[in-house]
Amino acid sequence: MLGNFSYKNATKLYFGEDSLSYLNEELPRYGKNVVLIYGGGSIKKNGIYDDVLAILKANGKNVVEDGGVMPNPTADKLREGVKLARAHNADLLLAVGGGSCCDYAKAVSVSVHCDEDPWDKYFARFEEPDCEIVPVGCVLTMTGTGSEMNGGSVITNHDTHQKIGHVFGDEVMPKFAILNPRYTMSLPKRQMVAGIYDIFNHICEQYFSGEDDNVSDDLAEALMKSVIRNSLVAIEDPENYEARSNIMWAATWALNTLISRGKTTDWMVHMLGQAAGAYTDATHGMTLSAVSLPYYRHILPYGLQKFRRFAIGVWGVDAAGKTDEEIANAGLLAMEQWMRKLGVAMRLSELGATEDMIEGIADATIILKGGYKVLDRAEVIEILRKSL
């Protein structure tokens, strides 16, 4: 059944090959001072930077640039960005990039008009924003995190070896987001598949929890099937617009709160992966893939019926003549085969993790309680060892 909940998601999305032109419709809604946020500069090579800047200029905006947002945005970078946005009297934070840029923009947005240190306030103490929030818009150039239509923001603190996400409320969600599937085609394959696995795991995190019949789980299965089918096309033919557009749209709905309504969720793969990420600085999606199968095989006995449903409903496992355990395991085997076809990391050691980091990663792993088994420290260590 569906538990009690509320739902609001007011982000305006423009999707498609012509979507950037709608920036002209959105910009007049905001004041003159825009902070243009971007990452390592790939947008300067593929022309998106020039296109966005031309639209900003045509709309008479006073633009300051905040480039160099790293794949795992740091607390130090966040503090700098807050200063910059404050000095610029920012009316709009326009993030052009992937989830990292969008996450970062949201963290800046809730900190510009706050005096406290943003890491301490939001990522150490998990406080909610109590000051004016600067509006955020996103032009998405890679897909995966769903950050374009949610209130989430993940920030990494290298001093404390922590990578922590704060899911803010709907007032922090981007006011608008521009999704052009063609932009995602310029990514190297490794980043594409990391994004695809991130999407898939977002759905798993919300699906592998709870026992009741729930329309949210039906929607989750639909998104998983679409991601699987289209990913197999995209790895053979990365320029396939049908595949890339379906993946991009599924990514948005995988993590914009819809499929978690009225049910519990897990998120332990993210806790394990983020802890590993804080130690290795590896690509987010790859840390998730490396820990997923050891984790899911560990919890399978506790959530047997859901893993059975997953096997049949998502992977088309033929149940005839098999025990529930056999069906459930066949589902995870099908998932493993798909992951290997994608070419995502299957072990943390591929990402630079070493045996001597295990204790530290375990310490950095936040233990959540929504999954089929609440892990103890020994289980975390065991799963990390099997993932190594």
C-alpha 324, offset from chain centre? 32
Count of chain residues binding its own copies (CB under 8 A): 44
Separation CA 83–CA 376 (nearest Å): 41
Smallest CA-to-CA distance from 138 within 173, 171, 166 is with 173
Residue 289 identity: S
**Tokens for 218?**
């039906």
Q: Which stretch binds its own copies (CB under 8 A): 34-42, 62-70, 241-249, 353-361?
A: 241-249
Sheet of strand 33-38, all strands in order from the earlier edge strand to the far edge: 62-66, 33-38, 92-97, 136-140, 176-179
Q: Which helix (H) or strand (E) holds 218?
A: helix 215-236
**How far, in Å, CA of 349 to CA of 310, rounded?**
28
Torsion, Cα 379 165 146 264, to 10 degrees, reads 50
Closest approach of its own copies to the CB of residue 170, in Å: 8
Q: Does 315 bind its own copies (CB under 8 A)?
A: no
Binding segment for its own copies among 6-14, 86-94, 160-168, 282-290 (CB under 8 A)? 6-14
State the nearest-atom distance from the C-beta of 380 to its own copies, in Å: 33
Q: Which is nearer to its own copies, 140 or 345 (CB)?
A: 140
Q: At what angle do helices 268-280 and 284-299 cross, to 10 degrees?
A: 140
Taking the complex as a whole, the smallest distance from the CB of residue 91 to its own copies amounts, in Å, to: 21
The answer to whether residue 212 forms part of the interface with its own copies (CB under 8 A) is: yes
By C-beta, is 246 or 287 nearer to its own copies? 246
State yes or no: residue 214 binds its own copies (CB under 8 A). Answer: yes
CB nearer its own copies, residue 12 or residue 373 = 12
Least gap, CB of 275 to its own copies (angstroms): 32
CA–CA separation, 140 vs 99, rounded Å?
Answer: 8
Per CB under 8 A, the list member of 83, 229, 369, 385 interacting with its own copies is 229
Piece in contact with its own copies (CB under 8 A), picked from 34-42, 128-136, 224-232, 353-361: 224-232
Pairing between β-strand 176-179 and β-strand 136-140 as defined by DSSP bridges: parallel
Q: How far is the CB of 216 from its own copies (least distance, A)?
A: 8
Q: How many CB atoms within 10 Å of residue 96? A: 27
Verify binding: residue 223, its own copies, rule CB under 8 A.
yes
Q: What are phi and psi of 200, to 5 degrees?
A: -60, -40
Contacts of 87 (CB under 8 A, 6+ apart): none
Residues between 36 and 65 that touch its own copies (CB under 8 A): none
Give the angle 147-265-193 at the CA atoms, nearest 5°. Answer: 45
CB of 29 to its own copies, least distance (A): 13
Q: Does 387 bind its own copies (CB under 8 A)?
A: no
Q: Determine if 327 is a binding residue for its own copies (CB under 8 A).
A: no
Interacting residues with its own copies between 255 and 294 (CB under 8 A): 258, 261-262
Rounded CA separation 77/63 (Å): 19
Residue among 150 and 246 whose Cβ is closer to its own copies: 246
Positions in 130-189 near its own copies (CB under 8 A): 181
1 binds its own copies (CB under 8 A): yes
Q: Which residues bind its own copies (CB under 8 A)?
A: 1-19, 22, 181, 212-215, 218-219, 221-223, 225-226, 229-230, 241-242, 245-246, 249-250, 253, 258, 261-262
